[in-house]
């Protein structure tokens, strides 16, 4: 890794522990910073991490965010992405002119490897993973990092010039970058999301646009030309724009023509040979092909990935068949659009399991997509709102339960051979579960108990 001098002897506050905060604290300490970590969770909840940090000589404050903590003279705050900018400590830092960054910026400043960065409202994880698989099959030594579950700075520490870091980035992470500049950036799409965090749609879109704000003419910006907004955003970058489209014939990007995937006029693969299910995944595939080709992947490596890649965990993941019922885990569907896309992937009758964190919106937009849903089982804070949408859609069987495990147990007796039982919550998980992964794992465990 590069031994950046930007943090040497600087007083740095790491706000929020979790995985990224823990890694950031260790890295900053290694870079010679004077580090303090502050987390609102108690010492007991953070015991193992706190003890390891304290053994390194890192100060840790647990249980609350002290109002006057910034009076200790910090010059940088490294913020956990999940902490909103409305947090009093962050507000105070911005008033004082203190730099507020996320751990991704640290990773960039120490990395010897170039970055391929992926963001968007939907499709980030699938696209990131698929790019990685294509580059890996081409023996290009990729590494994978970011919002996909692997802390970016941990990956950047071990990355060399021979590597490429493929990183998934949320709008939360992108708000906290300064110098971060990927060689290749991907914007999969833009829809309404996380407005409870950002406050306005404009602020959300601006955060997404940060992925290309530092790019120059020698870099590439890949985006979705099926969306007017993405085409408009592409006009703002200095990078070379590489479009993808499922509807248009593009000589300068990735597209579908006559049942084949093309990149810059070259025929790559027949759609019938691609294993990844769902019409929505065609956009993810085109974005991945464009990124992989620009990063040096061979056609054979791309074809190999597309004919073997079944998708990522918790994203329309086939769990198993139980007595002719097909169980799918789509726990990563944390908004209405993702659930729409999941439902569009099935022609069979569906029993939909949905619900979670209430972000203040209704679910009427989901109603036209519930035609194949024979029953809906709801849980979490939004169950009553989802029940109303199901009633408007004319669904006869609507049941509210306490949690995902109970939902599985109630779904099976309603099903018949050939039915799909789909967990696609249309909501974030934080009302009941630590994250969407935990929610999905509980679903999988419940399915296995049935068998």
Annotated binding site for ATP: 120-126
Given a contact cutoff of 8 angstroms between Cβ atoms, the answer to whether 14 and 33 are in contact is: no
- Cα→Cα distances 264→71, 164, 222, 284, 432, Å: 55, 23, 13, 17, 46
Binding residues: 120-126
Q: How far apart are CA 240 and CA 220, in angstroms?
A: 5
The CA distances from residue 13 to 81, 85, 201, 255, 324, in Å, are 14, 15, 29, 46, 54
Length of the chain counted residue by residue: 451
Measured at the CA of 136, the angle between CA 133 and CA 137, to 5 degrees, comes to 85
Q: How many Cα atoms occupy the beta-carbon half-sphere of 201 within 13 Å? A: 5
Cα 53 → chain centroid: 28
Instruction: Show the beta-strand stretches assigned E in 188-232.
Output: 220-224
**Rg of the chain over CA atoms, in angstroms?**
23
């Amino acid at each position: 890794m590069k031994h950046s001098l930007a943090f040497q002897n600087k007083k740095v506050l790491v706000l929020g522990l979790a995985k990224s905060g823990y890694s950031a604290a260790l890295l900053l300490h290694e870079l010679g910073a004077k580090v303090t970590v502050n987390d609102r969770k108690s010492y007991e909840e953070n015991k193992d991490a706190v003890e390891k940090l304290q053994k390194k000589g890192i100060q840790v404050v647990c249980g609350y965010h002290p109002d006057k903590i910034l009076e200790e003279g910090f010059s940088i705050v490294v913020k956990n992405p999940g902490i909103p900018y409305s947090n009093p400590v962050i507000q105070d830092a911005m008033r004082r002119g203190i730099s507020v960054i996320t751990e991704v910026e640290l990773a960039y400043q120490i990395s010897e490897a170039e970055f391929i960065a992926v963001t968007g409202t939907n499709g980030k994880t699938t696209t990131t993973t698929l790019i990685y698989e294509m580059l890996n099959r081409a023996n290009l030594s990729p590494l994978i990092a970011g919002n996909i579950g692997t802390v970016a700075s941990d990956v950047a520490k071990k990355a060399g010039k021979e590597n490429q870091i493929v990183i998934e980035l949320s709008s939360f992470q992108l708000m906290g970058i300064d110098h971060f500049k990927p060689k290749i950036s991907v914007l999969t799409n833009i829809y309404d999301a996380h407005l409870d965090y950002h406050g306005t749609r404009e602020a959300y879109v601006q955060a997404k646009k940060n992925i290309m704000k530092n790019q120059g003419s020698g870099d590439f910006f890949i985006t979705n030309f099926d969306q007017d907004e993405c085409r408009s955003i592409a006009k703002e970058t200095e990078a070379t724009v590489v479009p993808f489209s499922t509807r248009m014939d593009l000589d300068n990007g990735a597209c579908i023509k006559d049942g084949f995937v093309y990149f810059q006029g070259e025929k790559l693969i027949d759609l019938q040979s691609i294993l990844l299910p769902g019409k929505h995944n065609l956009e993810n595939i085109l974005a991945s092909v464009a990124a992989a080709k620009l990063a040096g992947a061979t056609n054979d490596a791309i074809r190999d990935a597309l004919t073997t890649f079944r998708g990522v965990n918790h994203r329309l993941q086939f769990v198993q068949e139980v007595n002719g019922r097909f169980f799918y885990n789509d726990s990563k569907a944390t908004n209405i659009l993702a659930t729409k896309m999941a439902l569009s992937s099935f022609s069979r009758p569906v029993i939909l399991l949905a619900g979670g964190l209430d972000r203040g919106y209704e679910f009427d937009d989901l109603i036209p997509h519930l035609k194949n849903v024979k029953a809906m089982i709801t849980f979490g804070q939004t169950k009553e709102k989802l029940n109303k949408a199901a009633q408007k859609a004319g669904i006869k069987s609507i049941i509210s339960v306490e949690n995902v495990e109970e939902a599985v147990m109630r779904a099976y007796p309603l099903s018949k051979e050939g039915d799909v039982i789909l967990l696609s919550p249309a909501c974030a998980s934080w009302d009941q579960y630590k994250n969407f992964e935990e929610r999905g794992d509980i679903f999988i465990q419940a399915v296995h108990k049935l068998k």
